[in-house]
Amino acid sequence: MKNKIIAFVKKEWLWFAGGAAGALGGYLYWYFIGCNSGTCPITSSPTNSTLYGILLGGLIFNMFKKSEKSKNG
């Protein structure tokens, strides 16, 4: 079980790195720029901003993943 988890993390490390960078970026965006009035759906809450950052960071970092070639040739 431990080997499967380690293999998964090694295979998908870009998702985790992107999620961590996005979480930090989303929180910092909320802290420095965020919406004070509460009318902005993403930036009015640190939770929403951080979750949105995780999603975007994971997607952006995953763009740099090399695609696996098919074995069917």
- The pLDDT of residue 72 is above 70: no
User: Tell me: the pLDDT tens digits for 16-48?
Assistant: 999 999 999 999 999 999 887 878 888 888 999
Q: How far is CA 62 from CA 12, 54, 56, in A?
A: 9, 12, 10
Would you list the DSSP string of the chain?
-HHHHHHHHHHTHHHHHHHHHHHHHHHHHHHHT--SSS--TTTTSHHHHHHHHHHHHHHHHHTTSPPPPPTT-
Q: pTM for the full model?
A: 0.79
Task: Give 55's pLDDT tier (boundaries 50, 70, 90).
Answer: very high
pLDDT, residue 38, reads 74
pLDDT, residue 54, reads 96
